[in-house]
Amino acid sequence: MPIPIMGFFSFTLTHNAPSSTSLFFSQNLLHSHSQSGPNFTNLNKRVSHYHNTIKIKTLASGNEIHTETVVMVEKSQLESCFQVSRGYPSPFGATLRDGGVNFAIYSLNALSATLCLITLSDFQDNVVTEYIPLDPLINKTGDVWHVFLKGDFKDMLYGYKFGGKFSPEEGHYYDSSRILLDPYAKAVISRGEFGAIGPDANCWPQMAGMVPSSFDDEYDWEGDLPLKYPQKDLIIYEMHVRGFTKHESSKTKFPGTYIGVVEKLDHLKELGVNCIELMPCHEFNELEYFSYNSVLGDYKVNFWGYSTVNYFSPMIRYSSAGIKNCGRDGVNEFKFLIKEAHKRGIEVIMDVVFNHTAEGNEDGPVISFRGVDNSVYYMVAPKGEFYNYSGCGNTFNCNHPVVRQFIVDCLRYWVSEMHVDGFRFDLASIMTRGSSLWDGVNVLSAPAEDDILTIGTPLGNPPLIDLISNDPILRGVKLIAEAWDAAGLYQVGTFPHWGTWSEWNGKYRDTVRQFIKGTDGFAGAFAECLCGSPNIYQGVGRPWSSINFVCAHDGFTLADLVTYNNKHNLPNGEDNHDGENHNNSWNCGQEGEFASISVKRLRKRQMRNFFLSLMVSQGIPMIYMGDEYGHTKGGNNNTYCHDNYLNYFQWDKKEESLSDFFRFCRLVIKFRQECESLGLDDFPTSDRLQWHGHFPGKPDWSETSRFVAYTMVDSVKRELYIAFNTSHLPSTITLPERPGYRWEPLVDTSKPAPYDFLTPDLPGRDIVIQQYAHFLDANMYPMLSYSSIILLCTPDEND
């Protein structure tokens, strides 16, 4: 009786025989089958083979016959924990069905595939629990490998091994020793704690996906439904999940987590925000840049998260549960955040990074996409080189038919399963570039006329953007493009939008910064910004096509914008060479936080000017986390690598600002939401808007003008007078006459808090207004240098 051996055994039989000889024999032998992967021991606890087959390969040469025989073991000899059958080619990923789990994964160029099952306890011991080899004759349909299993999947993880050519010059990186993440895995497990190094100081420990189980409870959404706010009504708040509550002053039970954010959602409700834009929350490896930082005495990490490992899994180490329950609890914590935000009337948009992945260039790690099918998922040259339109080593092959369907499947999942309200696409212009092996048949399923496009050519009608824009599930969610990439493609105003997309308006940011700090030649451009940038979007969009922002995660904070002329990035450990050099900032006379009282007062005034301009502009305003209290990063405009106070929201500082800048921000947002005229669905016309200069109806658009004023008819507030004086000189302006009415001050950024915004219940309000009575009686108003005002048209009780 043959002795069972753990694995397979193969042999070659050589003997003399006529060339026509046929061999018929059976052996109970096992092929010694070595399976290994990064950090995993060469141990297979159980081997599963679901058919009893003899494979014979006979090669005849003269009188010699070489026969290779592989005999699959019978189940009675090695019992598997699973019932294994052929499976189904769709849907991709690991899917519950028919009392079991179906596994399906696409790979065009792989020659072999093995499903690796790993219990959570074995995963922590670096041991594969069970291998399921896939037979290409049985477990493959087209280019999709698949298998169906029944059994106990509690606390079970999975990955794949693929065999094939390792030929980087041809774009192939197959290595059957590596265990790869399924691109469709719904939760990714590696390390359990943010910033904790893996065993043996490994910054890239093995990763695996969560296998769904029939024991999983369906999440209770409590009837949650999308809020579906009109885009014109949004007030967006760009937030980093960990940074929002990690500071000790947050006093949250689970700082730096999804639950921590939930504990502080009422702050956003108080501020008036109705939409959060989460910086990347897809699974990424924060230890990607891990190295000692001698400047601060801590370690550099990938804090921002713009380097995705998996697009279906939320960042598990942003959850309080970590890897418990194979990541299911982490997934549910993300859902809890969405549900609680919706309860407070706040939508949630995700910042997604489909332009590149964490696998980098040819020297980067093989984690998932590269090992599954590198030449499909990445934009590669004919000799295997990686195109680098992202500036991060590789470029996702977005307009390849398989990749674009993957992206749409991912977006659909986050909308239907996770209830998110939309997406902001990082370096979205990459999604308009032609894919590798571009041709009309490859992308459009038909030959195209004059098809001479090369890899990476910007497309007028990109298939991926078309697919997203017209998808029946995604139609209606918020879609925001960062309409440029790292290779110089700049599409602000020209991004193909299909009537549904908005764009981060970088031109708005640059123009507003220039005008508010008093640069000549920007009065006319600033007026365009106030109207929703019709010079960019009229004819191709609406005011809400423009996402207006002055500050964002990359660049100066609002406080630093008025405190530093130059970047101060030495803490990044790159000798101040990183980060943007052209910030259009002004320190108001002295560099740094230590300045005279007069300079500090001017800085606060300028912060109010920036915030007011943002809130009275047509389009969608976006605020960066911490700007509402004046967060500083010490002049560092590229804090991607800091898991410390530079990126942490400081709640104690917010409390100090309650009666000062935070109050101003809250009241200005509330005023915007009350006004019908400050969030229009179309560009304002002369029926509603009139431009003025220092005198009514006489705007000054000259190169030296630093004054812009206008009136807006408003169905709620009657009429608004809004003016900006960015000159270093004060000015007394003449107001337009409105018989039977008088202008009453509401906002004046030159006044100290709380008189910068005159609420009806403000103590001493009448005294303040009385101080200006002689000016207002004469239909005039004095404006200090670097100040802005809002006046309301009210009935004249003395008339």
| Residues known to be catalytic | 426, 482
Backbone angles phi, psi at 322, to 5 degrees: 65, -130
How many other C-beta atoms are found inside a 10 Å radius of the C-beta of residue 266? 10
Distance in angstroms (rounded) separating the CA atoms of residues 713 and 551? 29
| One-letter identity of residue 308 | T
Written in H, E and C, the secondary structure of 224-264 is: CCCCCCCHHHCCEEEECHHHHHCCHHHCCCCCCCHHHHHHC
Task: Tokens for 117, please give them.
Answer: 């099952």
Distance in angstroms (rounded) separating the CA atoms of residues 263 and 451? 55
Partners of 788 in the β-ladder: 724
> Residue 367, SS3?
coil
Backbone angles phi, psi at 95, to 5 degrees: -130, 130
DSSP 536-591: HHBTTB-GGGEEEES--SSS--HHHHTT-SS---GGGTSTT-SS-S------TTSS
How many other C-beta atoms are found inside a 10 Å radius of the C-beta of residue 141? 14
Distance in angstroms (rounded) separating the CA atoms of residues 46 and 81? 8
Answer whether 242's CB lies under 8 Å from 643's CB.
Answer: yes
Answer whether 511's CB lies under 8 Å from 525's CB.
Answer: yes
Distance in angstroms (rounded) separating the CA atoms of residues 531 and 528? 5
Partners of 396 in the β-ladder: 378
- Cβ neighbors of 693 (< 8 A, separation 6 or more) are 699, 700, 705, 707, 709
Dihedral sign, Cα of residue 631, residue 636, residue 637, residue 638: negative
| CA dist 631 → 549, 557, 600, 645 (Å) | 16, 7, 14, 10
| CA dist 527 → 3, 448, 550 (Å) | 86, 43, 15
DSSP state of 200: G
How many other C-beta atoms are found inside a 10 Å radius of the C-beta of residue 732? 11
Answer whether 708's CB lies under 8 Å from 733's CB.
Answer: no
| CA dist 262 → 254, 317, 515, 549 (Å) | 10, 16, 38, 25
Distance in angstroms (rounded) separating the CA atoms of residues 650 and 638? 19
Long-range contacts of the stretch 224-228 (C-beta < 8 A, 24+): 224/338, 224/339, 224/342, 224/343, 224/419, 225/342, 226/342, 226/347, 226/419, 226/421, 226/477, 227/342, 227/345, 227/346, 227/347, 227/421, 228/476
Buried b (16+ CB within 10 A) or exposed e, 384-416: bebbbbbebbbbbbbbbbbbbebbbbbbbbbbe
- Cβ neighbors of 94 (< 8 A, separation 6 or more) are 101, 102, 103, 158, 182, 184, 185, 186, 209, 210, 211, 212
Distance in angstroms (rounded) separating the CA atoms of residues 510 and 578? 20
Distance in angstroms (rounded) separating the CA atoms of residues 259 and 333? 7
Q: For the chain, report the end-to-end CA distance as a whole number of angstroms.
A: 114
Answer whether 528's CB lies under 8 Å from 520's CB.
Answer: no
H or E element in which residue 70 lies: strand 64-71
Question: Checking DSSP bridges between strand 140-141 and strand 144-150, what pairing results, if any?
Answer: antiparallel
DSSP 138-184: TSEETTEEEEEEES--TTEEEEEEEES-EEGGGTEE--TT--B--TT
